[in-house]
Chain A
């Protein structure tokens, strides 16, 4: 089966990897700036190393601020240019179906840790409830990533403005921003560890990982992992045979791709 479905368009792929690069650089420079070893989760050595690499803590702070501003600007630009797609994304990740999603959330981690066999031995059914474009595990990371990302951006801007425009009476905002920024980044990073494992290391999700480069996922993968999304594509394809909504274009993309493969 060579049939493929378009899962991510080019701008989404660029945004994803741009975001990943920014987060990585912001995380290491941010941890580097956190020179008070009593509040640095990595302790003394990390800020010392980063300071040596960057040539001083002042430089680290400047780099952190610049990357942060570029990151925020890029997201604002994306939001302006792709407003509808952004709203669809937000609607998609914040839509949950408590009954079946809860079962999925309980079973999937068991499957990944003790395995199907052990689950059957415990008398558990290993079948997972069907999922849509994103499974609820992905949503469980996407939701906090969006909300905490927003919090990180806002608190970051407040801290950036502290010695530019804020008066002494407003520094209480800055001090709270420091604490909130710190916790939000810590939580996102904890989620990121699972996200990176699921996306880049977990063998089952390998086709989805490749789709973050090529844009395409095999139909078989979609049928098994995202059956509700697959149903949606088929339905849309049948109800709107030739008018141009984005989904049907994707579905036509499937056919074009498959003919190309045959040739």
Chain B
């Protein structure tokens, strides 16, 4: 069975220390004002004075099973890596057009102003593959709110935790865009309704829905036309045509 790396997050353990943000930024050498991960806050209801508790919810790219960002990329510079189940970016192929940015319901992508290419969390791909390290946000978390691992491998803790809590995990997603994220939160997490519907830019949407079949039709018709004329040329005897022309 193929690997599927994922995170199981118990957001009630998060104390909003932002160590995960800092570690990620440092390890992945991120540009100023840009982050690969985040901590969301549950909104306080100003009317109800009962509770002053705010719930902190850490997150990042959800490495979805049906990634809308991948569909929005014309070149497959961003793709779902079948080997470890993460969504990757091929920086050699990405031209930084940014089509994938609004196509992510979680806002997990940004355009790096220095490389001018799109960037997002890759579960610390480089450190994981070359040094066998966990993602920086996971290893740095003082309360261990994040558990990381291959949820297809029964030997991992991630697999076991997910199994034990199978009835009380939620996947955050917008009802209009079901992306099957691989970020599992324990049920009491908040906020829950923040993912937006995926928005593929109009030109790409047009290519996906009608321009491709339209062009296939036009190309097919033109090639068919050429073949009909060719066939006619082959099947009519050229001498006849010669006579024809002279008689005119």
A174 touches B93 (CB 8 A): no
A58 touches B90 (CB 8 A): yes
B241 touches A116 (CB 8 A): yes
A180 within 8 A of B: yes
Residues in chain B within 8 A of chain A (CB atoms): 70-71, 73-77, 79, 90, 92-99, 111, 113, 115-117, 201-204, 206-208, 211-212, 215-216, 218-219, 221-223, 225-226, 228-230, 232-233, 236, 238, 241, 244, 248
Which of A18-26, A69-77, A197-205, A209-217 lies on the face that meets chain B?
Answer: A197-205
A36 touches B95 (CB 8 A): no
A127 partner, pick from B95, B207, B222, B248, beta carbons under 8 A: B248
A207 within 8 A of B: no
Shortest distance between the CB of B30 and any CB in chain A (Å): 15
Q: Which residues of B contact A160 (CB under 8 A)?
A: 95
The winner among A56, A167, A180, A197 for most chain B CB atoms within 10 A is: A197
A187 touches B95 (CB 8 A): no
Chain A residue at smallest Cβ distance from B236: A115
CA distance A189 to B204 in the complex (A): 20
A38 touches B215 (CB 8 A): no
A197 touches B229 (CB 8 A): yes
Give chain A interface residues in 82-121, CB to chain B under 8 Å: 109, 112-117
A178 within 8 A of B: yes
Q: Which residues of A contact B218 (CB under 8 A)?
A: 186-187, 190
Q: Which residues of A contact B206 (CB under 8 A)?
A: 179
A203 partner, pick from B97, B116, B233, beta carbons under 8 A: B233
A197-B226 contact, Cβ under 8 Å, with A41-B215, A175-B201? yes
CA distance A134 to B21 in the complex (A): 66
B233 touches A159 (CB 8 A): no
* Tally of contact residues, A, Cβ under 8 A: 52
Q: Which residues of B contact A196 (CB under 8 A)?
A: 226
Q: Which residues of A contact B116 (CB under 8 A)?
A: 162-164, 166
A171 within 8 A of B: yes
A194 within 8 A of B: yes
The 8 A CB mask of A37-66 against B (1 = contact, 0 = none) is: 011110000010000000011100100000
Chain A residue at smallest Cβ distance from B96: A163
B229 touches A171 (CB 8 A): no
Enumerate the 8 nearest inter-chain pairs by beta-carbon distance, A residue then B residue, closest first: A58-B92, A179-B203, A35-B76, A186-B215, A197-B226, A171-B98, A190-B222, A163-B96
Q: Which residues of B contact A171 (CB under 8 A)?
A: 96-98, 111
B248 touches A58 (CB 8 A): no
CA distance A38 to B75 in the complex (A): 10
A180 partner, pick from B113, B203, B212, beta carbons under 8 A: B203
Q: Which residues of B contact A197 (CB under 8 A)?
A: 226, 229-230
A41 partner, pick from B111, B216, B222, beta carbons under 8 A: B216
B74 touches A57 (CB 8 A): no
A17 within 8 A of B: no
